[in-house]
């Protein structure tokens, strides 16, 4: 986990919207952490019944990313099922460093 400025964290969150709007085409998406273009990848993991789950978004250049839980998996997006084995998850989702907004409370 690494703490980043709130604006950078927001840019990561905005990528989820970009992914949804582009139907998953991240070729033109820019990494908020390292400014690399076309390095963003993502994966939904969730329940096929409710289509509720989480999304991991990461950069294949700097391996920073975010994890957002309790999201709706939009129609047309592939997802891995909840409870699938670690090897399946690891084959798809790299071990990336999660960015978190810098906490303002203890400053
Ligand atoms: Zn990056």
What are the mean pLDDT values of the chain's consecutive 10-residue runs (107 residues total)?
A: 94 97 96 98 96 98 97 95 94 96 73
Q: How many Å lie between the centroid of ligand 1 and the Cα of residue 30?
A: 8
Domain ranges of the chain: 2-98
Cβ–Cβ under 8 Å, residues 64 and 33:
yes
> What is the C-alpha separation between 70 and 2, in angstroms, rounded?
22
Q: How many Å lie between the centroid of ligand 1 and the Cα of residue 24?
A: 17
pLDDT of residue 24: 96
Q: How many Å lie between the centroid of ligand 1 and the Cα of residue 58?
A: 8
pLDDT of residue 103: 81
Q: How many Å lie between the centroid of ligand 1 and the Cα of residue 49?
A: 33
pLDDT of residue 105: 64
Q: How many Å lie between the centroid of ligand 1 and the Cα of residue 50?
A: 32
pLDDT of residue 107: 55
Q: How many Å lie between the centroid of ligand 1 and the Cα of residue 52?
A: 27
Alpha-carbon dihedral sign for residues 87, 93, 94, 100? negative
- 39 conformational bin, left if phi > 0, alpha if psi -120 to 50, beta if neither: alpha
């Amino acid at each position: 986990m690494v703490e980043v400025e709130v604006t950078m964290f927001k840019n990561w969150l905005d990528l989820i919207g970009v992914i949804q709007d582009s139907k998953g085409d991240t070729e033109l998406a820019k990494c908020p952490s390292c400014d690399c273009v076309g390095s963003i990848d993502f994966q939904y993991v969730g329940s096929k019944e409710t289509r509720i789950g989480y999304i991991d978004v990461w950069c294949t250049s700097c391996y920073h990313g975010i994890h957002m839980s309790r999201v709706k998996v939009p129609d047309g997006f592939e997802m891995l099922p909840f409870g699938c084995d670690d090897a399946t998850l690891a084959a798809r989702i790299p071990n990336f460093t999660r960015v978190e907004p810098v906490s303002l409370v203890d400053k």
